[in-house]
Amino acid sequence: MMKLLSAPRLRRAKISARLALALLLALLPHAAAHGARQLRRPARERAASATPRRAPDASAQAKIAGRDAAAAHPAPRPRLVLLIVVDQFRYDYLERFGDLFGGGGLRRLQQEGATWVEANYDHIPTETAPGHSTLMTGAWPAETGIIGNEWYARDEKRRVNNVQDDTARLIGGGEGERASSPRNLLVSTLGDELRLASNNRSKVIGISVKDRGAILLAGRMANAAYWYSSLTGQFVSSNYYFNQLPEWVRRFNDARPADKLFGARWERLAPLAEYERRAGRDDAPWEKYGNGTAPIVFPYTITGGLSAPGPAFYDALIYSPFTNDLLISFAEQAIVNEQLSADADTDILSVSFSANDLVGHRHGPYSHEAMDMSLRVDRQIEQLLNIVDARVGLRNTVVVFTADHGVAPVPEQANELRLPAGRVKISDVLNAVRNRFKARFKRPNVEQDTTGDYIQTYWGGQIYLDRAALERDGVSPAEAERVAGEAALTVPGIARYFTRTQLSNGAVSPADPVARRALHGFNPRRSGDVLIIPESFKYLTELGAGASHGAPYSYDTHVPLIIMGGGLAPGRYANAATPADIAPTLARLLRVQAPSNAVGRILLEALR
């Protein structure tokens, strides 16, 4: 028998019913939308979401436990980071000559390491100093301040070399040789961060024939940087690092290893037919340099024209593969005597092979000499890897291989191959700018032309304007920059220009690769006012011979990038990368702070 509700209870029940109905009506649109979304999802996804979740099986549980354990107990840091840089080693050398490489050098790195096949520098100029400054900072020249091999210092009214330090004293070397240090580098390197993290226990050492190749990789806090003196044939440094060379360096120099190479004969490593098939003729006229009387065909006997070792010989030696051999011997002594990797704190050794660049400038990338240097540096890298394996163990080492830039074909050779190559004279560009300045800014009815001093200087593809002269005549700097750029475009072979005003205001599109590379190379304190970009395959130079680099085009930007060890998964990666990615990736592997101004990405696709 149904029980009747009292009047108060009945009112409360009616109110509850109305509230329930209102709530149901409010939820209906959400339920309908959810149903529509479910209908729009693929059937496979709907089925998966409808399947009840199962507890992880034993295999899955083991993987989860392994990840948790790895997070709680990360793998030991490598004992040594070995950075190998081959100056002017284009990426395509790996493809053109790879089948002639031995098994223990570059081929080993490619097989056992992670290789990025589309690694390009994203700045200009593509020169030695900017490239080296990017590698261990992960930053562009805009941040590192190393905007070229040289630049013009407005305040001092003089040209400045990238590692020039007039306050430092050269230790070793010959009379009149300049001292160098990293004081012009404005940011930290990976080595700096590693030493900060280890309270200076980690050791960081840079070695090269070029001072910039040793100094800029090592950084501001490095224990040492050593480079080759072409006056004495010895390895030198500066008092930025110490007041005298370590005993082991003095012993190395006292043994006079360079002198033992006097009269060394440089011959081809492979049969002549291989060189002719891949690089054409050996006696190409476009390989002439200097006064045109120097030999340009194999074999070469290295004497510098002397009857006994002396400065001319020590300088001639750097244009051969034999200074690479000196670097390897010196690197081995550094590993042993500095006790690199002897404790739990990771050390860094960077070795930059300069001879490939010096030979490449003389003969070009499509020459017997450049090919032979590539084959020999492969064997030399194998020797270095074997030394590290014996002294440290490659299983305890992360090895990085890359280059600081590429190189363009010799224009005369490119012309013969019907490429649109040529040499554009700097003087022609400057004359065009001066004439346009006169036409645009010369005061009417005034006999004297005051525009003649508007150009302060030209260096490194950049026009520096005299700001005082512009202010004197009431000329807007932005307008002068634009007029200069438009004048440069009237010279055949000039493709583009960028002005200080554009780059300072970010008035360029990041989607435009050339504009982006110009922006990444612009430092407001050190850069010029108008950046001139030649057309592809064209050099902006007064030189009439040899090969060069510095452009934003693939032959100058595309370089190898290989990392072996550190838990990276071996393989070929087609992901776009830049050498600026090296430092942040190594920082992740070493579990230290990335360098101060690093903009590169961590190469996560290869991290296991």
Catalytic positions, please? 128
**In the structure encoding, which two tokens stand for residue 432, read together?**
């065009």
Q: Cβ(534)–Cβ(520) under 8 Å?
A: no
* Cα separations in angstroms, 269 against 157, 160, 353: 48, 39, 18
Q: In whole angstroms, what is the distance from residue 32 CA to residue 543 CA? A: 76
The whole-angstrom separation of Cα 437 and Cα 451 is 6
Q: Is the peptide bond before 8 cis (omega within 30 degrees of 0)?
A: no
Q: How many residues are listed for the chain in this entry? A: 608
Angle between helices 355-363 and 322-337 (to 10 degrees): 170
The CA dihedral of 122, 125, 129, 133, to the nearest 10 degrees, is -30
Helices H, strands E: what count in the chain?
23, 20
For residues 237 and 226, the answer to whether their CB atoms sit within 8 Å is yes
Contact 570, 443 (CB under 8 A): no
* Angstrom distance (rounded) from CA 388 to CA 335: 8
Residue 43, classed as helix, strand or coil, is: helix
DSSP state letters, 540-585: ESS--SS-----SSHHHHB--EEEESTTBPPEEE-S-B-GGGHHHH
**Helix or strand or coil: residue 530?**
strand
| Residue 180 DSSP class | B
Cα–Cα nearest to 394, from 113, 606, 8, 28: 113
Does an H or E element contain 21, and which? helix 7-40
What is the rounded end-to-end Cα distance, in angstroms, of the chain? 73
